[in-house]
Amino acid sequence: MSLADPFTFTQGNVPLLISIPHAGTRLTPAVARGLTDDAQPLSDTDWHIPQLYDFARQLGASMLVGQYSRLVIDLNRPADDKPLYATATTGLYPDTLFDGRPTFKDGQQPDDTERKRYLDEVWQPYHQQLQQELARMKQQFGYAMLFDAHSIASVIPRLFDGRLPDLNLGSNGGESCAPGLMSMVEACCQSQDQFSHVLNGRFKGGYITRAYGQPSQQQHAVQLELAQCNYMDEKAPFPYVAAKAEQLQGVLKPMISAMLQWGQTQHQ
């Protein structure tokens, strides 16, 4: 039986796609059987990101959301599992959690055949839809913009020192989007003093940003990694905190609007 509905997709009417690869919590039977007690809360999920960015639908953005947990397969890693970072990270099929604890009980991780199935039936459909939507936008508007939306716990010593900045913008070192676009996005961070930010710091962009950010082809990609403490409780069961989220959306909404404004200005 094939793995049903690996993503949800809503098509908008502006040349901006919000990609949310890590909010899914669905597990396959093989993964569910093998998880350690530490892994079962799915703590490495990008919790509530679709809810946080729901406002973007009203702005006309398309929305692509992965449904399976990154513990099944990580949609933001290359299909060949080539490492993206020289520092500590997790791979296409995460065998450790972000904090280094094992994902699976000894000898109970899915076998190679099972994992190849995840690649074919979860990873490939997500990326095919992503590619198709970007191609449609370019055909209709002459350009396309991709916003890859992520979040992570604010303190993970294995991955970074101290507390993570609130807003972690990534453009793969300036290679995934036009400089003017990133300048407008970063200006939204600089215009307020409630949330700290960094550009191309610890999180400069995963596979999606790097693979689909092709500014020379009128295809621009930006990644934003959010510190989760700003919109949710970081302790299980990881509830959404609406009052905090509303304050954070006070930065996110202008950011998405700035991208749309930049596109209209540059492609009139």
84-143 pLDDT, tens digit per residue, is 655 556 789 999 999 999 999 999 999 999 999 999 999 999 999 999 999 999 999 999
- 81 neighbors 27 (Cβ within 8 angstroms): no
Ranges of residues in the chain with a pLDDT under 50 are none
* Residue 250 CA from chain centroid, whole number: 20
Give the span between the Cα atoms of 147 and 219, in whole angstroms.
11
Dihedral of CA 8/14/19/24: which sign? negative
The token pair that represents 121 in the structure block: 């039936």
pLDDT on residue 85: 59
User: Could you tell me which of 153, 123, 148 has the C-alpha nearest to residue 44?
Assistant: 153
pLDDT on residue 91: 87
Residues ≥6 apart with Cβ < 8 Å to 183? none
- The DSSP symbol for 119 reads I
Please name the helix (run of DSSP H) or strand (run of DSSP E) that holds residue 126, with its range, or none: helix 124-141
The pTM is what? 0.96
pLDDT on residue 198: 97
